[in-house]
A and B are shown apart, each in its own frame.
Chain A
Amino acid sequence: MDAVFIETLWITAKLAILTTLTLLILGMPFSYFLAYSHFRLKPVIEAIVSMPLVLPPSVIGYYMLVAYSPKYWFGDMLQKIFNIRLAFSFEGVLIASVIFSLPFMVQPLQNGLSALPLNLREASYTLGKTKTITFFKVLLPNIKPSLITAIALTFAHCIGEFGIVLMVGGNMPGETRVASIAIYDEIQSLNFNTANKYAFILFLISFVMLILIYTVNKKHDTWKMI
């Protein structure tokens, strides 16, 4: 197999895995907060979280480029203090990827948590356990299907993203050229064989992820019916 082919797949996998891990760490407290807090501006926060589901990727990509640009304060600060330019870098793409995959991690977790009976949490508190211990030992184990769905969806969505990665990353081989963009490239260069290989792998991974999600949820539903 081609070294370039493997390198492209490696970048795709790296992006998806790092995005999923970052979102797991950020998403758990955030979804806990959304599931159990009630405040007036909650619909606004929930709308912001859901935006990546409906916004065209080019809109998000555009705003990311603006944010990264040294012409504006954020990019300027990054340049001056850390000497980093995020546009057209892997790190820049990673940050954008975390933002546009946010709802895929947060929403299943939030829904899973709010579907749990309220008194599970309360029982744990009356048994002397802190909120953190309750989250990891009582709540999380009881939303396993939601957790698996969240991880699988985030991973699959990240692998499938095209527009934002292209805009923010710029299709640089070895740096930001992921499989979804490589397909487009190869077709432009009439390398249909290579394009086919990429397409097939992406198709297979996405398909397997979805089968996993549906199998896990089906088992959970049947178990509930008993």
Chain B
Amino acid sequence: MENDIIKIDVQKELLSANGRLNLHINATLKKGELTVLFGDSGAGKTTLLRMVSGLTAPDKGYIKVGNSVWFDEKTNINLPPQKRNIGYVFQDYALFPNMTVFENIAFGQKEKNYKYVSELIERFGISEFTNQKPVKLSGGQKQRIALARSLARKPDFLLLDEPLSALDSNIRISLQDEILKAHQFGNLTTLLVSHDLTEVFRLAQNVLKIENGKITRSGKPGKLFINNQISGKVQLTGSVIRIEKQDTFYLLTVVTGMNQIIKVTAFPNDIKDLYEGAQVVVFSKALNPIIMKL
């Protein structure tokens, strides 16, 4: 098998909020790419990430990374996370409360290389907290520390479990940049779990859309979410937050990925398959958009 391919074919029975879920994921990833696992809560994305990391074992199947086998149920191989060269960023950071920022980051290193730790601290902009314990820091700061920590042992793979979902949108944007930089700088293969469309567009080279435990679509983000048959000049993606009936039409309130709120009118026919929470694309055909400085 080629050395730069990752083959995943795993199954697991889960008990999710919606009842029993049969997770069956069959995917081929390329090393060096940033792949986003996209989908609603409970679809199985985090479980898939945990299976790749070795924190959860699949019931059946295999995970082959290049020429090494990380998991194979048939031959009873299950490499523990310690032996997979990964960095993992948790949704709630999982920083060690008893250690300072410096110690947290240095913890992952096999041979201590304090120069590299300082470099990472510098790169992620957390120098002023170097000798503090993480307990009093903000979410954005903690996530930077968690990112730096995951890179300290120079892994080949970076796995991120909805790392930014608890943060404000402006902090999210700058942290998305950090993730991208980390991916490129470290020549990593990155798997990012997210349900934020903006993240998908800004970061993903490859997207796996997961629904009810199966991959329903895969490919480049543009191919998945933008309907190219639309010749509109302005396209916005977002989700519907309110549908109000006016006299002869409907008024929809949509929030875009950048947390902008726009109102769109639509006829009953147009909104047949829309509901509050639906992901939508809003586009304008005839007019040229006008741009003005804020």
Q: Are B94 and A127 in contact (CB under 8 A)?
A: no
CB distance from A5 to the nearest CB of B (A): 43
CB distance from A121 to the nearest CB of B (A): 9
Q: Which of A120, A125, A141: most chain B Cβ within 10 A?
A: A125
Residues of A94-123 whose CB lies within 8 A of B:
117, 119-120, 122-123
CB distance from A117 to the nearest CB of B (A): 7
Q: Are B97 and A142 in contact (CB under 8 A)?
A: yes
Minimal Cβ-Cβ distance residue in A for B105: A127
When chains A and B are docked, how far (Å) is the Cα of A120 from the Cα of B136?
17
B264 contacts A by Cβ under 8 Å: no
Interface range on chain B (Cβ under 8 Å from partner): 20 to 34
When chains A and B are docked, how far (Å) is the Cα of A116 from the Cα of B8?
32
Contact of A127 among B97, B98, B135, B149 (CB under 8 A): B149
B201 contacts A by Cβ under 8 Å: no
Contact of B88 among A126, A223, A226 (CB under 8 A): A126
When chains A and B are docked, how far (Å) is the Cα of A126 from the Cα of B54?
9
When chains A and B are docked, how far (Å) is the Cα of A124 from the Cα of B54?
13
CB distance from A16 to the nearest CB of B (A): 29
A interface: dominant SS = helix
When chains A and B are docked, how far (Å) is the Cα of A226 from the Cα of B134?
12
When chains A and B are docked, how far (Å) is the Cα of A226 from the Cα of B152?
29
Q: Are A128 and B94 in contact (CB under 8 A)?
A: no
Q: Are A126 and B53 in contact (CB under 8 A)?
A: yes
Known: A122-B55, A128-B110, A141-B98. A226 touches B153 (CB 8 A): no
B80 contacts A by Cβ under 8 Å: yes
| Interfacial chain B residues near A141, Cβ < 8 Å | 98
Residues of B258-277 whose CB lies within 8 A of A:
none
B108 contacts A by Cβ under 8 Å: yes
Known: A141-B98, A226-B135, A226-B136. A126 touches B81 (CB 8 A): yes
B250 contacts A by Cβ under 8 Å: no
When chains A and B are docked, how far (Å) is the Cα of A124 from the Cα of B80?
12
B90 contacts A by Cβ under 8 Å: yes
Q: Are B82 and A123 in contact (CB under 8 A)?
A: no
Minimal Cβ-Cβ distance residue in A for B87: A126
Contact with A along B120-139 (1 / 0, CB 8 A): 00000000000000011000
CB distance from B50 to the nearest CB of A (A): 9
B96 contacts A by Cβ under 8 Å: yes
B147 contacts A by Cβ under 8 Å: no
| Interfacial chain A residues near B87, Cβ < 8 Å | 126
A138 contacts B by Cβ under 8 Å: yes
Known: A117-B92, A141-B98. A126 touches B110 (CB 8 A): no
When chains A and B are docked, how far (Å) is the Cα of A120 from the Cα of B96?
7
| Interfacial chain B residues near A14, Cβ < 8 Å | none
Residues of B41-75 whose CB lies within 8 A of A:
53-55
| Interfacial chain A residues near B94, Cβ < 8 Å | 117, 119-120, 122-123
**Chain B residues in contact with chain A, CB under 8 A?**
53-55, 80-82, 86-88, 90, 92, 94-98, 107-108, 110, 135-136, 149-150, 152-153, 159
Add 15 more A-B contacts to A128-B82, A142-B97 (CB < 8 A): A117-B92, A119-B94, A123-B95, A126-B53, A126-B55, A126-B87, A126-B88, A127-B149, A127-B150, A127-B152, A128-B153, A129-B107, A138-B98, A141-B98, A223-B135
The contact sample of 9 A-B pairs, CB cut-off 8 A, is A120-B96, A122-B88, A122-B94, A126-B82, A126-B150, A127-B149, A127-B153, A128-B110, A137-B107
